[in-house]
């Protein structure tokens, strides 16, 4: 019986525990920006920022002003809080797994003819490896660093005057090419 008690104490001591993040959600000013530019220019600037960061567009809807993009690489502890783990010793921060994902939701809204607002919300998800438990996906709480970086890049893109996206003029079809199509 004493042996069973000792083994039980060792197993309970070594079993891991997970403590979810306790950080509050981000306040609106850190994820929201109002720009003195029309909607179409801000929409184009958001697309340029997504392309520059090598994000993959998952969904977009210009009518509602939303774009959802996924980062190509995992995030770090400076980007999001994934909670804490405890095994044998003291609690330690849960590191994001290499398979972790970061998805950014961009919301663009017109504020009149020459003003628009942009809001960025990051969603971070990571598999958490708790000792002696199956791996489970956990939603991490954003620290706001990536959202602020993206808003700054969008503001820089919008402020580049004269570099607005211009559509290429259609090239006329040469006369001899028209006859080969017939």
CA distance 45 to 161: 12
- Bin 180: left if φ > 0, else alpha if -120 < ψ < 50, else beta: alpha
Which residue in this structure is represented by tokens 């950080």? 23
DSSP code string of 19-57: E---PPPPPGGGTEEEESS-HHHHHHHHHHHHHHTT-EE
In the chain, which ranges are E strands? Answer: 17-19, 32-35, 56-61, 66-70, 80-81, 84-86, 92-93, 101-110, 116-128, 136-142
Q: What is the side-by-side order of every strand in the sheet holding 92-93?
A: 17-19, 84-86, 92-93
137-173 tens-digit pLDDT: 777 878 888 999 999 999 999 988 654 434 344 545 5
Question: Are the beta carbons of 73 and 153 closer than 8 angstroms?
Answer: no
pLDDT at 120 over 60: yes
pLDDT at 30 over 90: no
Homologous superfamily, domain 14-163 = Fungal kinase associated-1 domain (3.30.310.220)
pLDDT of residue 47: 96
pLDDT band at 89 (very low <50, low <70, confident <90, very high): low
3-state secondary structure of 128: strand
* Domain ranges across the chain: 14-163
Q: Which two tokens mark 7? A: 């083994």
Average pLDDT over the chain, rounded to whole? 76
């Amino acid at each position: 019986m004493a042996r069973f008690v000792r083994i039980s104490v060792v197993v309970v001591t070594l079993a891991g525990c997970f403590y979810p993040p306790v950080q509050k959600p981000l306040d609106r000013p850190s994820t929201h920006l109002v720009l003195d530019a029309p909607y179409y220019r801000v929409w184009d600037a958001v697309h340029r920022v997504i392309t520059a960061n090598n994000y993959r567009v998952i969904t977009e809807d210009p009518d509602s002003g939303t774009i959802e993009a996924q980062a190509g690489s995992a995030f770090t502890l400076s980007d999001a809080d994934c909670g804490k783990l405890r095994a044998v010793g003291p609690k330690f921060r849960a590191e994001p797994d290499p398979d972790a994902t970061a998805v950014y939701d961009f919301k663009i809204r017109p504020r009149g003819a020459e003003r628009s607002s942009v809001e960025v919300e990051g969603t971070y998800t990571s598999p958490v490896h708790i000792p002696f438990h199956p791996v489970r996906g956990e939603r991490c709480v954003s620290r706001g660093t990536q959202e602020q970086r993206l808003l700054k890049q969008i503001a820089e893109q919008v402020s580049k005057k004269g570099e607005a996206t211009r559509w290429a003029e259609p090239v006329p079809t040469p006369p001899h090419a028209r006859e080969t199509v017939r």
